[in-house]
Structure 1
């Protein structure tokens, strides 16, 4: 049966555009949520983490479901659940208003739960998309998987560009045009969801490897390969570095740029363009060499971003370098899974994606936020102890090996968002005066000391963000060591080769590579790089 490859490719591309829009707008919602709900950095990080947790779980189990039930049914399920996630955003404010009346002590925690589960459901849909579209595109373009998977995953930065520009124009007090209710901005991804749904409904899809194979257990054979297990660990680190940093980039750059979401838009634009050129690069240096070089560049880029840069121009130069490093990592890893383990279909790709997303949701998002919060509090306590006492929470918390007193989210938001004059004093303290979630007695004390406190808080916030980026640079450094080991390994067995399944005979046994135990000269239909 002939399939509309171009239409299926576009629909798959749009699923990632929708995911990118939702991701970018959510990362810009920290300020409004701090003001309206008193949601602090730790809770914000947890919500961002929920946006990856469901993704990680579903992309793996979704891969198994795809092999069992096919591509189209899971895309339709994700279509419905994505719209439900958008509806949950609109009920958050009415519910919070009711809780402030009936249960004020738990109002913030309750609305946090609503936002958490909305993000979790959103991530479930993302996982279903990835479980479907990666093996689908690899199957539609069997002779150039890595190239077309990179093009497919240009949809993610494309969505972040659209979502980031929308956030810059309409989310937060520094919005370019006007500040819209955050719900409308965060739910804007639903427009793209409806578009891809209309496109997919009438289309026919190819059978998956599991549907066309008489031996369903064959799709799990990738887990018998030690190099594949190494790839899983490395992809977890890619998720930590790429999506963990993207989750926090907007907030970490708040005091460096007039509208910090611009840095996310800029790096996304670079990724979008670069991913269209992965094919020629791969054919020159092979996928593992590309992954090794990208890891080194990403490490250096993060170290540069974490340094005390003062110039806005230099921030974008450093971000350019970082983007060159991260652009090819995620889709090229999926290409490696598709080329080395074609008999495993969506399961191999799903396992890598699950590792990356679970690492982001359960480790990277919360850990980077904790590192930023700890470094900020520690710096403020050392440089301005009196200011620290006015802004810090009374009780210390312990997270990820750090014990510290975090800064009060509402107080931090009021000080951090203030515009400072050349003398370092705030141009206006109106945001602090209007803050509803700060006790009136505390507000009077903070207003009396705003001239000295605001600059100290902003300096410490900036220090915390830079320190978090520097610490994250250790992750791509570790990745580089892992890819170097894989490069040496593949050269020891005759070079990296893409394996192809012979589909000429339906009853033919699907060849299963055993890496080091298999003679590379006896592998079926290899394509060398």
Structure 2
């Protein structure tokens, strides 16, 4: 295989897998309002579905790494291609099946459609895990002279997908869509276009052999990274990165619903910044080593989240805070993969898969659901304290207990309908059709909501915003802890003579250059 010719195609195809994942992620985060009003899926359920969109990723990226080393890159990529199409097909079944389930047993219809959407997101995340298990070691292997730089360029595909998906969501999802509102199923399945594109581009190509297929010391050699204490520290830190970066991104659109005219724009904006910044990782790493970049990024991300959580009615201030936060989070994920590729090249897909698994399992099982619980708890607390009568009209019939928070949530169908009502500049409210046409609300509930709209809508929306800001502020603890961890690693590497990439000789053995030597290219 002519590596100089083929690696450009493989890079583009790998980039497109992340674009497809980003499009699916961005459009799914904008579907919460539709699912609230159509299916009665509230914040907790929505958070669980978002979490499912990472759960399979976390499981498969680790075991996928083992499978990649055992069976090679191409077979895993082909499997992901087929499963991604199946995930999209499940989205189109949700609405007709919900109607059928409503007719048969209205009491269980919401639970059943939640399960369908949950497993669709889970299958989608399985595909994402397979992609990452393939593309991270693949790019690290075919660009040995610039692993961190090209991994950052590769992972610019993720924000590129979120930009495209976010713009598509802004144009076509929800009553505030720019052009025309289309069925959410079509919007959420738009990622299929990029799946087909990378399939056509990559599947006919030849792929290089993996580290595991060529390891001189046997297949067990690829697991040697787990004997390194610094690597175990990296796993814990990457888990925190997943919680912070993807957990916040999952909720960003929903948390800003009552602040911006079209809340998905905040996700588009931060994704655009990440897309641009990731192309400049190489020169930055050349000036300061990857651990130093990770330390600085963690501090900036912490301050950015605290800023985003501050009360303000200024859209300009929100975007300024989002800008600052984006500078912090932009380099974290791909630079961590670069560190794994540079320090543990003998472990190939296993080392990168372990980091990715830690990040995705944390956001899927902890980050997304916990941020949702924090938002729900503080929203209910704010409304009950500031407008107790409104709280009585909007509270759900049963309390919930989630991640250490015991509270009575707001009824999802009522909350979803109210969040779609926009306040007019001269006072009062615009179209109240989101309340009048809410299928999951009884005529009596609609009558009460409309009768008290003047007092209840501002109170509910203010409580919703307060809950979102509280969740962002609490999440700032994660990058603070990350900064401490990276500082410890920086001190460790300084004590060892400085951070240096490890390379493999022609026999596949590790060969670490002296601190003052130029880093050779792996063979």
**Normalising by structure 2, what TM-score?**
0.97
Residue 510 (structure 1) aligned with residue 514 (structure 2) = no
How many residues align structurally?
518
Partners of 1:525 and 1:62 lie apart in 2 by: 34
Quickly say closer, same or farther: Cα 1:27–1:392, change in 2 above 3 A: same
**1:229-255 C-alpha deviation (Å, 9 max, x unpaired):** 000000000000100000000000011
Is the contact between residue 345 and residue 504 of structure 2 (CA under 8 Å) also seen in structure 1? yes
Residue 208 (structure 1) aligned with residue 206 (structure 2) = no
**How far has the Cα of 1:522 moved from its partner?**
10
**1:471-510 C-alpha deviation (Å, 9 max, x unpaired):** 011110000000000000000010000000012xxxx352
Is the contact between residue 291 and residue 483 of structure 1 (CA under 8 Å) also seen in structure 2? yes
Partners of 1:472 and 1:527 lie apart in 2 by: 40
Is the contact between residue 13 and residue 153 of structure 1 (CA under 8 Å) also seen in structure 2? yes
Partners of 1:163 and 1:509 lie apart in 2 by: 42
- Matching of residues 380-529 of structure 1 within 5 Å: 380-422=383-425, 425-503=428-506, 508=507, 510-511=509-510, 521=514, 526=519
**1:55-87 C-alpha deviation (Å, 9 max, x unpaired):** 000000000000000000100000000000000
Residue 253 (structure 1) aligned with residue 253 (structure 2) = no
SS of alignment partner, residue 423 of structure 2: coil
Match of 1:75 among 68, 74, 77: 77
Partners of 2:169 and 2:7 lie apart in 1 by: 33
Match of 2:159 in 1: 157
SS of alignment partner, residue 401 of structure 2: strand
**How far has the Cα of 1:414 moved from its partner?**
1.6
Partners of 1:76 and 1:355 lie apart in 2 by: 24
Match of 1:360 in 2: 363
Match of 2:17 in 1: 15
Is the contact between residue 497 and residue 527 of structure 1 (CA under 8 Å) also seen in structure 2? no
Is the contact between residue 296 and residue 325 of structure 1 (CA under 8 Å) also seen in structure 2? yes
SS of alignment partner, residue 81 of structure 1: helix
Match of 2:173 in 1: 171
**How far has the Cα of 1:415 moved from its partner?**
1.6
Partners of 1:110 and 1:263 lie apart in 2 by: 32
- Matching of residues 273-284 of structure 1 within 5 Å: 273-284=276-287
Is the contact between residue 346 and residue 508 of structure 2 (CA under 8 Å) also seen in structure 1? no
Partners of 1:2 and 1:57 lie apart in 2 by: 34
**How far has the Cα of 1:175 moved from its partner?**
0.4
Is the contact between residue 338 and residue 348 of structure 1 (CA under 8 Å) also seen in structure 2? yes
Is the contact between residue 343 and residue 512 of structure 1 (CA under 8 Å) also seen in structure 2? no
- Matching of residues 299-338 of structure 1 within 5 Å: 299-338=302-341
SS of alignment partner, residue 438 of structure 1: coil
Is the contact between residue 501 and residue 519 of structure 2 (CA under 8 Å) also seen in structure 1? yes
**How far has the Cα of 1:103 moved from its partner?**
1.3
SS of alignment partner, residue 504 of structure 2: coil
Is the contact between residue 497 and residue 515 of structure 2 (CA under 8 Å) also seen in structure 1? no
SS of alignment partner, residue 510 of structure 2: coil
Partners of 2:89 and 2:398 lie apart in 1 by: 36
Q: CA RMSD in A?
A: 1.6
Is the contact between residue 24 and residue 165 of structure 2 (CA under 8 Å) also seen in structure 1? yes
Is the contact between residue 239 and residue 359 of structure 1 (CA under 8 Å) also seen in structure 2? yes
Is the contact between residue 302 and residue 473 of structure 1 (CA under 8 Å) also seen in structure 2? yes
- Matching of residues 44-63 of structure 1 within 5 Å: 44-63=46-65
Is the contact between residue 249 and residue 263 of structure 1 (CA under 8 Å) also seen in structure 2? yes
Is the contact between residue 49 and residue 365 of structure 1 (CA under 8 Å) also seen in structure 2? yes
Residue 370 (structure 1) aligned with residue 373 (structure 2) = yes
Match of 2:349 among 343, 346, 349: 346
Provide runs of 4+ in structure 1 moved above 4 Å: 520-528
Partners of 2:36 and 2:427 lie apart in 1 by: 24
**1:97-139 C-alpha deviation (Å, 9 max, x unpaired):** 1000001100000000110000000000000000000000000
**1:201-255 C-alpha deviation (Å, 9 max, x unpaired):** 2211100000011410000000000000000000000000100000000000011
- Matching of residues 89-128 of structure 1 within 5 Å: 89-128=91-130
**How far has the Cα of 1:524 moved from its partner?**
11
SS of alignment partner, residue 77 of structure 1: helix
Partners of 2:313 and 2:165 lie apart in 1 by: 27
Residue 234 (structure 1) aligned with residue 249 (structure 2) = no
SS of alignment partner, residue 275 of structure 1: helix
Is the contact between residue 309 and residue 315 of structure 1 (CA under 8 Å) also seen in structure 2? yes
**1:269-316 C-alpha deviation (Å, 9 max, x unpaired):** 000000000000001000000000000000010111100121111111
Partners of 2:133 and 2:511 lie apart in 1 by: 21
Partners of 1:524 and 1:240 lie apart in 2 by: 37
**How far has the Cα of 1:395 moved from its partner?**
1.7
Match of 2:36 in 1: 34
